[in-house]
Amino acid sequence: MTVLPTIRRVATAGMAAVLLAGCTMIPHYRRPTPPLAKAWPAYANTGDPVQENPLAANLGWSEFFTDPRLKALIAIAIRENRDLRQAAADIRRAQGQYDIQHATLFPAISGGGEAMYQGPSDAAGLSFAPGLDTGNPPMFKYYQMGIGVSSYEIDLFGRIRSMSREAAEHALMQRENARAMLISIISQVASTYISWLGDQAQLRLSDETMASQQQTLDMVKTRFAHGETDEMNVRQTETQVAQSGAFRDESRRHVAQDENMLTLLIGQPIPDNLPPAHPLGQQTIMQDLPPGLPADVLEHRPDIMAAEHDLLAANADIGAAKAAFYPRITLTASDGISSLQPHKLFTSAATTWGVSPQLQVPLLNWGQNSGNLKASRAMRASKAAAYEKTVQSAFREVADALAARDTYRDETGQMDRYVSTTGDAYRLAMLRYNAGTDSYLTSLVSQRNYLQAQQWQISIAVSRYQNLVTLYRALGGGWTEHTPVPQPAKGQKAAHKG
């Protein structure tokens, strides 16, 4: 006996209908073209030989960053950062929503069986054996087994297919969002690490300055005890020592706060066995990056790709809204066996089947379908504007980083000269004071100027290298195909890579 042939024919016909209904009503997509300049502003074209370097998008973070301590911190952050774990969970959720929606393209086949035992009611005068009054009427028995399809919609006009496409675009958008989050976390770790190096340098400067000023104070007190200077010089020197102490406490506070931020970003306490750090300014593989063309940003930045997937999802939603104006065909079918006697259940005489197609034609829904279509088109217009704004914001971000790159480079040279001249002025002032040809106030002012110049020099260096990290990120760097997808927490299933 052929087992359940009818349901197989129904399922085959339904799947054939799915394959034949290949068209959808999704509008033809054209990528919006935001009003952008054809090239970066003039300050991006410096003519430097750095243009021969590879584009940022072609460099993974492990290639761009060379400081072994920084690389170790980034690796921990990729594994343990809680924002990345949340992004991984969002990917799994979006993939699950796609699986749910995509499954509606195919008939859901379920199977089951039942047995019924029912005794007659003598009070109602019912009997399954008329004429026999034995006082023990027989029990009604019924057995059934089968499989069936319930309310399967044949997607002739692409409504379900459009909704499946929309869910797929949302899943892809979440993946790009996770990539953007990953690049952001990497750049935050690098920027915070550079701040930590700068604050460490400020702390060393404060310690050296305070030690030097303490020696000067001891010398001034000795001269005051011998009547070679007055009390005013003593008080002025003590003021400088107190200011240096406050500067040292501020530097300690900033170092501690940087370490706390790194702890948050890497998702765990900073290990004690990390490799030693490179000096400030030796964290990356190059000092400058070529900007390339605006198209490079469009191609590689995950936030722009996520915005485009969001726009494509809104475009697919229009196809579903259009298909709602057309008839729907749903199918319910069953195939099985039933019998009043168990031993006859698996015979050809016990075979039962049923097919129930249903046609639904929208006649009058008081503007509901047209309202849905209008809302879908408005959503697409909103997503298109959001996509263009994302591209424009990316262009501005790169332009700002390029402008800062050149000004920081010039400012660094100016600051180096400023530190050198203020240092010479301080040494000359101390020589004149020790020789008795100038007042101590002149040396105090010179020392203060020299200290401020050194502080600014460190701050500018920190800002310059942080800006280089920002430029690297803005140009689409930080991600390669070998970069691991954010991992879920222990005990959870890993996110799909599809």
In 3-state terms, what secondary structure has residue 113? strand
Determine the pLDDT at residue 26.
92
Measure the CA dihedral 431/434/435/440, to 10°.
90
Q: How far is it, in rounded angstroms, from Cα 380 to Cα 420? A: 59
Please give the pLDDT value at position 479: 61
- Which amino acid makes up residue 44? A
Least confident residue range of 116-130, 389-403, 459-473, 482-496: 482-496
pLDDT at 10: 52
Q: Is the pTM above the cut of 0.85?
A: no
Among 448, 414, 446, 412, which Cα is nearest to 432's? Answer: 446
Residue 215 binned pLDDT confidence (cut-offs 50, 70, 90): confident
**Cβ–Cβ under 8 Å, residues 189 and 115:** no
Q: DSSP string covering 298-350, please?
A: HHH-HHHHHHHHHHHHHHHHHHHHHHTTS-EEEEEEEEEEEESSGGGTTSGGG
Could you give the 3-state DSSP secondary structure of residue 142? strand
226-to-217, 221, 230, 438 alpha-carbon distances in Å: 14, 9, 10, 19
- CB-side neighbour CA atoms (13 Å) of 46: 18
Tell me phi and psi for residue 29, to 5 degrees: -95, 135
**Helices 159-225 and 440-474 meet at what angle, rounded to 10?**
170
95: tokens are: 């993939």
Q: What are the structural domains of the chain?
A: 5-32+49-118+138-474 (1.20.1600.10)
pLDDT value of position 218: 85
In this model, does residue 89 exceed pLDDT 80?
A: yes
**Mean pLDDT to the nearest integer, 447-471:** 92
Res. 2 pLDDT band, cuts 50 70 90? very low
Surface-to-core class of residue 393, CB atoms within 10 Å of its CB (0-12 exposed, 13-18 middle, 19+ buried): middle
State residue 415's pLDDT score: 93
Rounded Cα gap, residues 71 and 80, in angstroms: 14
Segment among 88-92, 133-137, 328-332, 336-340 with least mean pLDDT = 133-137
- Band (51; pLDDT cuts 50, 70, 90): very low
Does residue 218 contact residue 238 with C-beta atoms inside 8 Å?
A: no
Distance CA 175, CA 134 (A): 74
For the chain, how far is it from start to end, CA to CA, in angstroms?
Answer: 43
> Residue 491: which pLDDT band, with cuts at 50, 70 and 90?
very low
418: closest CA among 447, 442, 450?
Answer: 450
- Statement: residue 483 has pLDDT above 60: no
Rounded to an integer, the average pLDDT of 394-416 is 89
Residue 487 has pLDDT above 50, yes or no: no
Which of 80-94, 135-149, 181-195 has the weakest average pLDDT? Answer: 135-149
Residues 491-497, mean pLDDT to the nearest whole number? 37
Beta-carbon neighbour count of residue 157 at 10 Å? 22
**Residue 481 pLDDT > 60:** no
Residue 457: CB atoms within 10 Å: 18
Asked if 184 and 473 count as a contact pair (C-beta separation under 8 A), the reply is yes
When comparing pLDDT for 251 and 218, which is higher? 251
DSSP state of 13: H
Can you give the pLDDT at residue 1? Answer: 40
Percent over 90 (pLDDT), the chain: 42
Please report which confidence band the pLDDT of residue 3 belongs to, taking 50, 70 and 90 as the band edges: very low
Residue 235: band (very low, low, confident or very high) from pLDDT cuts 50, 70, 90: confident
Question: What is residue 211's predicted lDDT score, i.e. its pLDDT?
Answer: 87
Q: Give residue-wise pLDDT tens across range 313-361.
A: 999 999 999 999 999 989 888 888 887 777 777 777 778 888 888 888 9
Residue type, 172: L
Average pLDDT, the chain: 82
Q: Quick one: average pLDDT of 261-271?
A: 95
pLDDT beyond 90 at 57: no
Per the DSSP assignment, residues forming a β-bridge with 331 are 152, 357
